Structure 1
Amino acid sequence: MSGLGAFWGLYKREIIKIYRRPPALAMTFVQPIIWIIFFGSSLNGMPKEYLVQFFGTSNYIGFILPGQLATSMLFIGTFSSMSIVWDRRFGFLKKILVTPAPREAVFFSKVLGAVTRGLLQVPIMLAAAAAFGVRLPADFGGYLLWMAALVLLGLGFSSIYLSVAMRSSDWQLPQLVANVLNLPLMFTSTALFPKTFYPAWMRAIADVNPITFATEIGRGVVLSDPYDAAALAYLAVFAAASTAVGLLVAKRFLTVE
């Protein structure tokens, strides 16, 4: 079995699992839309002059949209990590590991499966934002850059959470780690608010938080503001470093026993 063939077969399994679980697929779409409807609409009640002053737009949903898609890539990474724990507990992982399939194929199938699931939200979220009055610009190159940023962000966080899960057969561990990290990562980025709202120590974290970089690229596209394409290089380094760690953990801890 070639490494590419093993990866393709395992990756298809991840995609098939998404579509064979309609409730889980529905929640993938519903959860971020709920954020837009309730959280976004709550701040949209501010006077328009304050919205423009603080958020650079008269529609806060346009401001939060890129941040919500970025944080979705963070949260979806948690699900991919939990799935490998269940594969281990139900014996599927053991069946794969006794074949010639390389450990790297198992790792990348999980990571790219999570990224694919995250990207499925993009058209739904864009349509939801448009329904709430967000005017989306026709910037094809900008959208490609934004999608690349989301892919790199998803690769990075999925690799991190998968690295944790591969070392344990306890299905609760990935969820515990996510509970500790996800909300701080979200609130110390610019996903929900600009850095000018934060104290100095939170701004320092936001300046190195990968979610901030992906959010700012998307926000530049949505709000037609200048965006720094060099932020993509930072996300590429983050994704490469996280993936490298994940591969090392896979080779060490993905064992039959």
Structure 2
Amino acid sequence: MSVPTMAKNGPALPMVLLNRVGTMCLVELQKLRHDRTELITRAIQPALWLLIFGETFTRLRAIPTGNLPYLDYLAPGILAQSALFVSIFYGIQIIWERDAGVLSKLMVTPTPRSALIAGKAFAAGIRAIAQAVVVLVLSAVLGVTLTANPLKLLGVMVVVVLGSAFFCCLSITIAGIVMSRERLMGIGQAITMPLFFASNALYPVDLMPGWLQVLNHVNPLSYEVDALRGLLLGTPASLWLDFAVLVGTAVLGIAVASALLPRLAR
């Protein structure tokens, strides 16, 4: 009877896992309902980048972007940046949950550690989508020519979720190593801008010095920006490679963060 039982329960396990991931997402998103001003405050920085940096450099024509106006070139990069900023400090929340005793209670439930981490990672992605909508609306108001193809816009949302999931897991991984909110804040602030400036968000890869081009090729944010430009603006992009890297880094991030979760829960 054990063989039929295994055959019967085996296919149900992925559904149980997905259900628990979805539950964790809903729990995380409930928190956003209690502080809706967060979306407004987080929209200030990308708005300043587009309004001041984008408009100024479009007029200066200081950065060659071919026939593409610089503001158009910049908009996908700022979209990726805003998603990065939403997710890179997510580890602070899990440290708070540890200090409040919430994490230890979650760890004794039947929910797999990977489901706990995946739930938080994709909840960060949903938060980033809300942020991305603000950036896209502002970009359209400023005259950026964006696609209206619903399939491409759906692809944009998938890219944002995958990128945010990885950076959320990176934050949780750092939290599992440093074990302190203050240290995590310092490291998060130290790596955020290098990740941004070592990507193709602000300028074409061809303009970078050789050592920066090497960093660009191992920076997941660069693949996120490349995919967003290809989908939103129709520029040449290696979408299959971009999606493969984003999926791979998200899966790797979930695996590493899940392995460190018991250490964080002590």
TM range (shorter): 0.7 to 0.9
Alignment of 1:79-228 (within 5 A): 79-228=89-238
Measured in 2, the distance between the counterparts of 1:114 and 1:59 equals 31
Match of 2:37 in 1: 23
Residue 250 of structure 2 corresponds to: 239
Q: Quick one: distance in 2 between partners of 1:245 and 1:99?
A: 20
Which shows bigger deviation, 82-91 or 70-79? Answer: 70-79
Q: Report how far residue 167 of structure 1 moved.
A: 4.2
1:240/1:64 Cα in 2 relative to 1: closer, same or farther (>3 Å)? same
Distance 1:171 1:223 in 2: 39
Stretches of 4+ moved more than 6 A in 1? none
CA contact (8 A) 1:103 1:254 kept: no
Q: Offset of 1:246 from its aligned partner?
A: 1.5
Partner SS state of residue 60, structure 2: coil
Question: Which consecutive unaligned segments of at least 5 residues does structure 2 have?
Answer: 1-15
CA change 1:150–1:6 in 2 (3 A) is closer
Partner letter of residue 66 of structure 1? P
Q: CA RMSD in A?
A: 2.2
Letter in 1 for 2:195: L
Q: Percent identity?
A: 28
SS at match of 1:166: helix
Deviations 1:34-65 (A, max 9, x none): 22112212212225xx66xx113453221111
Q: Identify the residue that residue 11 of structure 2 maps to in structure 1.
A: none
41, 52, 59: which is aligned to 2:69? Answer: 59
3-state secondary structure, aligned to 2:222: helix
SS in 2 for 1:55: coil
Summarize deviations over 1:132-179 as a string: whole Å, max 9, x none.
Answer: 011212333333333322222112111111112134542112212212
Distance 1:99 1:64, change over 3 A: same
Query: Which residue does the alignment assign to 2:50?
Result: 36
CA contact (8 A) 2:147 2:153 kept: no
Deviations 1:115-139 (A, max 9, x none): 1111112222111011101121233
